[in-house]
Amino acid sequence: MTSDLWRVGVLAIAGLLVSCGPSNPHPEKATEPDKKTGSVIFFHIDGAGMAQWQMARMLIAGPDGEINWDRIPHMAVYRGHQEDTLTTSSNAAATAHAYGVKVPYDAYGTDGISDQPPIAPNGKGRSIMQEAQARGIAVGLVNTGGATEPGTACFVASVHERDEGHEIAAQVAASGVDVILMGGEEWFLPEGSQGRHGVGRRKDGRNLIEEARGAGYKVVFTSEELAALPDNAGKVLGLFALEDTFNDEPEEQLAAKGLPPYDPAAPTVAEMTAAALRFLGGRQFLLVVEEEGTDNFGNCNNAVGLAEALRRGDEGLGVALGFVEKHPETLLVTFGDSEAGNPDIIGLRGGKYEKEMIATGRDANGAPLDGLENAPGGGVAKPFTSKPDRAGKTHDFLVAWGTKLDSNGAILVRAAGLNAEKVRGSFDNTALYPLFYQTLFGTKP
């Protein structure tokens, strides 16, 4: 009798260990077995609102065409106000997305009062990504900016101030996230140490790249190295630039330096997303992707850079949409948290006033106008030209900038796949957490 009881106990323990899986040997709570669950892709195209997507459509497909963004069926108006401001910061927005609560403008993965994470709607002080990790779900972070960009980092890092790059990178590197693809090598290396892309900035002497290798990560630095990894690569850390994978300066400064908007050696957001989905595929996962160039080029009023960032962002959405079409149990959500630079589109017909606008580079109210090229000393040398409309006609337009800051703007949340129908009407920045929670775990927080 005693031996039989012992054998039953051993078999029960063995079954429990098998069910836990290798990624997390001690999950705190399984998903609800009677509820439909799936994976989540959050594709954050930062700083992009309706005007930016109108611009993208004109340049990519023409005014009567459709881009990938247009193909995402469900939509709602985004409400992005915070605890102490109507226009959010990127770090406060990402904190609200990750934890499902509003926070002060300066909060970075914290409640803004202490240096502790906010208490999420499920009563715990951890983000939706950390909750997913605790339950054995695979997770990934992709960003065309550096490792300290809050759109992704706030899902795993909590610091007192946004400029604590050394601490943010350390927390990202130690987070255990399965796939980390971004720029920001500078914060992974000791100060003065030469890396693949430049010199390190850490003052504590730590080499986070070697620490990551010791933790089992495969580390890559170029698009070629990323593409060469097999689907079963395991944990992957990709650092594709010293800072960002783009050069976020005004057109004139980039031209003077001979720099393109994006580093051609770095993978695009579409390539990073495709790689992350390869590595995470076959498992339930939460993947957070950010195209940061749309925000940074908007803030420096670089319309050419913004156009390229939008093209890349839409290409990345195409990759995510393709995955959802093949795996309909996946939820895709995309939006920006603000409109960077508050741009708008002015169509041109060649009238006298419009010619004056082109010559001066200013609207009558003084708003700066931007085109495909800027003339030396001011003025717009060449407007943008759309792809042909359904009649085969192209149209010229300029971009009018409202500010170099972020504005509330007209932001649309768009969704496809599992539970996408819940994105409707208006959608608060705190609504992302419960939507992801229900999709991942099959229950409300």
> Any idea what the CATH number is for the domain that residue 269 is in?
3.40.720.10
How many Å apart are CA 440 and CA 264, to the nearest integer?
A: 36
Do 224 and 369 belong together in one domain? no
Report how many domains make up the chain: 2
Is residue 144 a part of any domain in this protein? Answer: yes
pTM above 0.85, yes or no: yes
Do 412 and 383 belong together in one domain? no
Q: What pLDDT is attached to residue 23? A: 43
Question: Residue 293: enclosing H or E segment and its boundaries?
Answer: helix 293-299
Q: What pLDDT is attached to residue 1? A: 39
Amino acid at 433: Y
Is residue 9 a part of any domain in this protein? Answer: no
176: region left, alpha or beta (phi > 0 left; psi from -120 to 50 alpha) = left
Alpha-carbon dihedral of residues 261, 266, 270, 276, nearest 10 degrees? -150
Q: What pLDDT is attached to residue 321? A: 98
Is residue 322 a part of any domain in this protein? Answer: yes
Provide the domain limits for residue 165: 34-342+405-441
Is residue 237 a part of any domain in this protein? Answer: yes
Beta bridge partner(s), residue 417? 331
Do 101 and 61 belong together in one domain? yes
Do 197 and 301 belong together in one domain? yes
Residues sharing a CB contact under 8 Å with residue 39, sequence separation 6 or more, in sequence order: 280, 284, 285, 286, 287, 327, 329, 330, 331, 439, 440
Q: What pLDDT is attached to residue 14? A: 36
Do 233 and 356 belong together in one domain? no
Give the torsion sign (CA, 110, 112, 114, 118).
negative
Q: What pLDDT is attached to residue 35? A: 78
Is residue 149 a part of any domain in this protein? Answer: yes
List the structure tokens of 255: 């031209």
Is residue 2 a part of any domain in this protein? Answer: no
Do 338 and 383 belong together in one domain? no
Q: What is the pLDDT along the chain (445 residues), one digit of tens a residue?
A: 334 433 334 333 333 333 333 344 445 555 555 579 999 999 999 999 999 999 999 999 999 999 999 999 999 999 999 999 999 999 999 999 999 999 999 999 999 999 999 999 999 999 999 999 999 999 999 999 999 999 999 999 999 999 999 999 999 999 999 999 999 999 999 999 999 999 999 999 999 999 999 999 999 999 999 999 999 999 999 999 999 999 999 998 999 999 999 999 999 999 999 999 999 989 999 999 999 999 999 999 999 999 999 999 999 999 999 999 999 999 999 999 999 999 999 999 988 888 888 888 899 899 999 998 776 667 777 899 999 999 999 999 999 999 999 999 899 999 999 999 999 999 999 999 999 999 999 999 9
Is residue 243 a part of any domain in this protein? Answer: yes
Do 261 and 381 belong together in one domain? no
Do 78 and 195 belong together in one domain? yes
Do 262 and 294 belong together in one domain? yes
How many Å apart are CA 141 and CA 217, to the nearest integer?
A: 14
DSSP string, 206-222: --HHHHHHHTT-EEE-S
Do 267 and 335 belong together in one domain? yes
Q: What pLDDT is attached to residue 25? A: 44
Do 305 and 377 belong together in one domain? no
Give 259's Cβ-side CA count (13 Å radius): 16
How many Å apart are CA 347 and CA 227, to the nearest integer?
A: 41
Is residue 29 a part of any domain in this protein? Answer: no
Do 311 and 391 belong together in one domain? no
